[in-house]
Structure formats: C-alpha cells, structure tokens
Amino acid sequence: MSQQVHAVRSENAIDPDDITIAYIGGGSRQWAPNLIRDLAQSDLHGQVRLYDEYYESAQLNAEFGNWVHDEADVEPSADWSYEAVEDLETALSGADIVILSTQYDPAETFVHDLDIPKEYGIYGAVAATIGPGGIFRAMRTVPLYRKFAAAIREHCPDAWVFNYTNPVHFVTRALYDEYPDINALGLCHEVLGTRHRLARYAREELDMDAEREDISVNVKGINHFTWIDEARCKGVDLWPVLEDLVESDHAHQEFSWEDLEDESVFVDNWQVTWELFRRFDVLPAAGDRHLVEYATSFIQNGQEGLNRWGVKRTGSDYRSKHWTPAESDQTTDVEAWLDGEKEFELTESHEVFVDILRALVGRDTYVTNINLPNVGQVSDLQDGAVVETNAVVRNNEVKPTAAGGFPRPVRSLIRGHVDTIETVIEASRDGDVDAAFQGFLIDQQIRTLQTEEARELFAELVAAEEEYLQDWALEDSDVLAEADAYPAN
C-alpha cells in the first residue's frame, strides 16, 4: 500500500468574511434552500450567485435567501447575500467556491432509465448511478460537466468545487479528466447515514450517549458502493457489536410487497447490508437501494426479489412527481414561507458543506468522506479512478486518508464497476458512442443479457433520450446502425 497520499491544495486563500460562492443549479428546490439555511447559521459571510437553466427558479431562491437574512423572523449569525445571474461566466468569475447540483427533467430521462431496462428484465431499484440507467444518466451529464470544468479553468481556476450531482463517481471523474488541476470534491451523504445507524447501535447495544459525530469509520470504495472495516464510537470498538447483530433475527428478516407498500422509496431495512457483511466480512456503507445495483444478485427475480430484502423500487411515477413541486415530497416550501402560508424555522440540513467550508477557510479541521481521484488512498484500485474515502480538510487543503484494500471478492466487484466508469469517461472525450457501448456491455447488470439484447436496450435508451445526447456522435455509431430499436434504421 502506498504510504504517500497527496493532498489537493488551492493557491487561493479564502477570506471567511467575504466568500464568493457560485451555485450551478441554483434553482434547486431542495439543495439550494437547505444550503441557504445552513449558511445562515454559520460563522461565515459572503455572497452567493445562483445560476440555473431555469432562471426564474434561481430568482426565487435568491429572493428566499435574502428574505432569510433581511426579513424572516429569525436571527442568522452570518451575513449572506444572494443574486440570480443569467450566464455561467458571471456566476463563475472570481468565485472561491463552486457548487454543482443539476439534473434533467425526470419525466424525459429518469422515467426511461427505469422503465426501458425493466422490459429487458433489469429491475433496478434506483437506476441513477450505475447499471443502464446510471450509465445513461452519466452520458447525459458528463459532456455538460466537461464544459463546466473548462469554464472553471477559465474563470476561477483555483476555486474549490463541490460536486453533488449524480452519478458522483462519473461526474467527478469527468471534471478531473477535463481539467486535471481542478480542486473538485465529490460529496454524498450515504456514509453519513451509515454513521447515523452505527450511532443508534451504540445507543441500543452499549447504552452509550452517541450521535453521528461520535462515530469514526475507515471507509473505502466507490460512491454508493463504499465499505467499512473499522468502526468506533468515542474510541469504543463497534465491530463485536456488528458481529453479534449480523447473527441475530434483526439481520435475518424477509419482506413482501405488502410489508413495503406504504413505505417511502427511501426505506432502508439494512438486510442487503447484513447479507453482504455475512458473506465478505466487511460492512457496506451505503443504503440498500444503492447497494443492490452494484451487487446485482439482489435485483434478480424482479419486484419480488427486491422486496424480499426490504428494498422498495423507485418507480417512474415517483420520478415524475419529484419534478412537480405540488406533488413532490422532496422539495422545500420556499413559496409558502415567503407568502406567510407556512411558519418558517431555521433548521439544519445535517449535510457537511458548511463544515468543509469552515475547515477550508482555516476555522477548523474536519474529517469526512469525500470522492477524489485515487492517489494511493485505496491500495488495490487503479490510480486516477475516483474513489471514496475519508479525507482531512484543513486550511486550503484536502488530504485523503490511506484506507487500505479489500478482500479479493469485494475488490473484484468494485474493479468491474471502475472499468465501466473509466470506459464511459474515455468514450466521452470525443463522443464515441460505440466506445460508450463497450462500457455499457461490461456493466454487471447488463451481463445478464445476450449481446444483441444489450445492443437493443442501448439503442432504445438512446432513441428515448436522444434530445439529451447531442454531444455524442450518434450518426457515426455502428452499434446504433445495427440496432432494430433505433428509429433512424
């Protein structure tokens, strides 16, 4: 294992009293209002430029942000101003921090990612970060993020870039592939959720006073397929607790559709987690709904197979409703707060953006899970691939920690997904559709299909989402030319 893990550093010293944040995707109905509330409760000050394809949404969030600080009946400890801007250059010019959080209309993209593979027997639970749906989300998103990386290189080359956009491993890898000197951090809360669960076990099994912040873990892997081989609560080893629990009735439950019918799609019964822990002696550190798409035996036998493990599939109807504010359970109530129809409270999101930002400006040292190119932090995955481990954040520096390697079976699973990601990223450099199909073909969900079936699935997804794949050389593809499912034929 390499003992020398290099830090990511910026030449730009950030003034904690005058921070400029560019928020790309600033019309977000969930992330942006959460950020506004978190910043309001911080000890930092500055301005936020909100840029979004839907300018009116960015304007609404800017109005909300300024209202929180100037008119809401709360007392923020920080001073922030918000402005919606109409072009990317204005947003990025001289920014200290760039936040990336965007997505395409789910009714025109995610619905196809879920429904079309299902016709081929691939019953993905989320279809957002790996598998046919995840790959197509990457193919839609990566070309745009290459443009963002190029714009960052031109307008704020030393900025710290926080990427929240899925698929995090594809997108963060594309940012570095386009601009190798970028200071980009891929962020995800799945490991935070695992730490929250471990704190619960510390309370229940050891009668400890424990919260998420009291849990330390050695985490490693790729986003949504991370693993833990050490876990402590205030210095107390939790591994014996986990080894007892994995043999208990708690870790041997079976579910049916009737059991899950009224549950949220985000329900996490940890039965996939326990099963993988039983088989491989390392603990997965992501929600079961994500794990099943990487450990693909769990998505066999359709809905019944998923439900047996306590996983509820994210249906295309849910994705469509998520895009409609009146029907979504994942959006915040900005308009209701502004209009006085709903009482506003200055709550915290429990995300770690502000904690990382405070460390970057020198206010603290902070350790959390971050996705970065592999420079030795995971010893048996290829260099350059984006991996997720802990990292130490301090004044203008992020240093990933050396986390070691994996048991051979787990390493084999992860390496296969890394090969898929790397193949698609290489294909995106010049929009090579047939090279992207090679990455699609080796994906572990697609391997259940004959190659001709895989080709037809690929072509059908291209046809359904062609509007969002304009940066790919579709007309030059031999794979599409051979496919019956592609309408041009």
Least confident of 303-307, 364-368, 470-474: 303-307
Interior angle at CA 456, CA 452 and CA 460, nearest 5 = 170
- Write down the pLDDT at residue 463: 97
**From the candidates 189, 224, 322, 417, which is the catalytic residue?**
189
Q: What is the pLDDT of residues 422-477, one digit of tens each?
A: 999 999 999 999 999 999 999 999 998 999 999 999 999 999 999 999 999 999 99
Interior angle at CA 67, CA 65 and CA 69, nearest 5 = 75
Does residue 376 register a pLDDT over 90? yes
For 14, the token pair is 């950030």
Does residue 482 register a pLDDT over 70? yes
More confident residue, 331 or 459: 459
| Predicted confidence band of residue 327 (pLDDT cuts 50, 70, 90) | very low
Interior angle at CA 203, CA 197 and CA 207, nearest 5 = 160
Instruction: State the average pLDDT over residues 89-114.
Output: 92
For 134, the token pair is 């995840």
Measuring CA to CA, how many Å separate 427 from each of 109, 146, 165, 261, 307? 21, 13, 20, 41, 36
Instruction: State the average pLDDT over residues 61-73.
Output: 94
Does residue 328 register a pLDDT over 70? no
| Predicted confidence band of residue 485 (pLDDT cuts 50, 70, 90) | confident
| Predicted confidence band of residue 320 (pLDDT cuts 50, 70, 90) | low
Q: Which residues contact 74 (CB under 8 A, 6 or more apart)?
A: 40, 68, 344, 345, 346
- Write down the pLDDT at residue 108: 84
d(Cα 22, Cα 102) in Å, to the nearest integer?
Answer: 13
For 357, the token pair is 């930002």
- Write down the pLDDT at residue 379: 95
Neighbouring C-alpha atoms within 13 Å toward the C-beta of 23: 29
Instruction: State the average pLDDT over residues 22-50.
Output: 96
Asked about 189 being catalytic, the answer comes back as: yes
Tell me which residue of 411, 432, 444, 425 sits closest to 475, measured CA to CA. 432
Residue carrying structure tokens 């995090």: 168
Q: What is the pLDDT of residues 387-417, one digit of tens each?
A: 999 999 999 999 999 999 999 999 999 999 9
d(Cα 141, Cα 137) in Å, to the nearest integer?
Answer: 6
Instruction: State the average pLDDT over residues 369-396.
Output: 97
Return the biggest CA–CA distance within the chain. Answer: 66
Does residue 122 register a pLDDT over 70? yes
d(Cα 58, Cα 35) in Å, to the nearest integer?
Answer: 13
Instruction: State the average pLDDT over residues 72-81.
Output: 91
Tell me which residue of 14, 43, 10, 15 sits closest to 354, measured CA to CA. 43
> Across all residues in the chain, what is the average pLDDT?
94
| Predicted confidence band of residue 325 (pLDDT cuts 50, 70, 90) | very low
Tell me which residue of 16, 6, 130, 30 sits closest to 392, measured CA to CA. 6
Does residue 193 register a pLDDT over 60? yes
Read off the pTM: 0.95
What is the percent of the chain with per-residue pLDDT over 90, rounded to a whole number? 86
Edge-first strand order for the sheet with 19-24 is: 8-9, 397-400, 386-394, 366-373, 183-186, 160-163, 97-100, 19-24, 46-51, 80-85
Residue carrying structure tokens 């550190």: 285
Q: Return the axis-axis angle of helices 408-428 and 168-178, rounded to nearest 10°.
A: 50
Does residue 235 register a pLDDT over 90? yes
| Predicted confidence band of residue 250 (pLDDT cuts 50, 70, 90) | very high
